[in-house]
Amino acid sequence: MRDTSLLQLALSIAPPWSVTASDFDAAARRLDIHIDFVAGSRFACPSCGTAGCPAYDTEPMTWRHLNFFQHQAYLHARVPRVRCAACGVKKISVPWARPDSGFSLLFEALLMSLVTAMPVNTVARLVGEHDTRLWRVIHHYVERARARTELSAVDRVAIDETAARRGHNYITLFVDIDQARVVFATEGKDAETVAAFAADLASHGGNPDAVREVCIDMSPSFIKGVAGSLPNAAVTFDRFHAVKIVNEAVDQVRRSERRVHRILAGTRYLWLRNPANLSQRQRTSLDSLPLRHLKTARAYQIRLAFQELYEQPSPENGKVFLKRWYFWATHSRLAPVVDAARTVKRHWDGILRWFDSKIANGLIEGINSLVQAAKAKARGYRSIRNLKAIVYLIAGKLDLQLAA
């Protein structure tokens, strides 16, 4: 078997195309494979599909292909333009590559599996290509897969924002709770993001009016956005976010009390954690404090009690429990705790909604940590558009339909 026949088989090149030559240059560490079509071949029109169009002229093209062991491999062919009676002169597409891509389909499939596993910059170094070329491939496959995504069954959604760059620039993620996938990611964290999601949902076969449950934090933008764009959704306020608000009140009490009680210096994390998560040493430190006399300790007890809300056995028990908690917190004479309790009061129904929906952003937090890890590894994605593409890629459960 001649090496061209072997390459032809390995590349699945079919008539009218055939491998005509190969040049292996060990010093340059590259393999060049030349593909050509039989003279006089006819091709289908790429626009209307009419078969048997004659070649009009050709354009030489090159595609990067999978490495041949440690050697870079390139495919070369002259690509015909055909003359179609209906459409005029059109460049045909070759079976081994997408139009206008400088990579073969198999090389793109390799790139896509690599960028799912490691930072794009690393992949770029590994394959010796500039990352902007890789981003073009990523955007193509992500956009194509997203265009095909069916969202008609989406009716429970968790919404949360994540910082795109340190300190500023946010993207908001919309998670289909039942499929545990990010279905939409958009820049910003205002009410408009929810409107953008509703429009995107509708364009993928979904129905904003059919969304019956959402889980959000207590940000006024999300509350407003949901009311305006997902009118039939019952709102559950994320329980972790609710607890965080009460926990922050504990921290405020501690900070002001520390000025009076120096014994509180260095105890911040003792109060922020749950007792079960303290080390033996932290446990001992906490027990050694004069708890009876500290305002911080009272605030801490009120926070622990708030968390018990979520252990109540029924919505009715939950309601009674929260009322009692509210009375206690508002009579604590601890200003930050009173404020936190009032915040809870203003979001009463959405906090209690948890007993019916049992949804929380724990899921989205998991997705967030995937996103954060990817961001850290990539050291900046150059643009929000790139970040969104990676979010869809790792958390969107896309069907990429890669060449195999």
> Which range touches Zn ion (CB under 5 A), out of 43-51, 63-71, 285-293, 342-350?
43-51
From residue 344, alpha-carbon distances to 3, 238, 360 in Å are: 74, 12, 16
- Shortest distance in whole angstroms from residue 41 CB to Zn ion: 17
Instruction: Record the tokens describing residue 177, joined without a space.
Output: 């709770």
> Which range touches Zn ion (CB under 5 A), out of 48-56, 111-119, 351-359, 372-380?
48-56
Give the position of tokens 């309790």: 341
With respect to Zn ion, which residue has the nearer C-beta, 89 or 126? 89
- Shortest distance in whole angstroms from residue 90 CB to Zn ion: 6
With respect to Zn ion, which residue has the nearer C-beta, 5 or 47? 47
Task: Give the up-direction half-sphere exposure of residue 223: CA atoms within 13 A in the CB hemisphere.
Answer: 12
From CA 403, how far away is CA 12, in angstroms rounded?
12
> Which range touches Zn ion (CB under 5 A), out of 41-49, 135-143, 332-340, 343-351?
41-49
- Shortest distance in whole angstroms from residue 7 CB to Zn ion: 32
Question: Chain-centre distance of CA 252, in angstroms?
Answer: 34
Binding-site size for Zn ion (CB under 5 A) equals: 7
- Shortest distance in whole angstroms from residue 54 CB to Zn ion: 12
- Shortest distance in whole angstroms from residue 86 CB to Zn ion: 5
Among 45, 299, 337, 360, the residue binding Zn ion under the rule CB under 5 A is 45
DSSP 208-266: GGG--EEEE-S-HHHHHHHHHH-TTPEEEE-HHHHHHHHHHHHHHHHHHHHTT-GGGTT
- Shortest distance in whole angstroms from residue 96 CB to Zn ion: 22
Instruction: Record the tokens describing residue 253, joined without a space.
Output: 């009490």
- Shortest distance in whole angstroms from residue 164 CB to Zn ion: 44
Question: Pattern of binders to Zn ion over 217-256, x per CB under 5 A?
Answer: ----------------------------------------
Using the rule CB under 5 A, is 265 a contact of Zn ion?
Answer: no
Among 48, 199, 202, 335, the residue binding Zn ion under the rule CB under 5 A is 48
Using the rule CB under 5 A, is 47 a contact of Zn ion?
Answer: yes
Within 82-101, which residues bind Zn ion (CB under 5 A)? 84, 86-87
Residue closest to Zn ion (Cβ): 45
The counts of H helices and E strands in the chain are 16, 11
- Shortest distance in whole angstroms from residue 45 CB to Zn ion: 3
From CA 183, how far away is CA 201, in angstroms rounded?
8
Give the position of tokens 């389909």: 105
With respect to Zn ion, which residue has the nearer C-beta, 50 or 282? 50
> Which range touches Zn ion (CB under 5 A), out of 76-84, 155-163, 204-212, 338-346?
76-84
Contacts of 88-95 spanning 24+ positions with Cβ under 8 A: 89/56, 90/45, 90/46, 90/47, 91/46, 91/59, 92/43, 92/44, 92/46, 93/46, 94/17, 94/61, 95/13, 95/14, 95/17
Q: Which residues bind Zn ion (CB under 5 A)?
A: 45, 47-48, 50, 84, 86-87
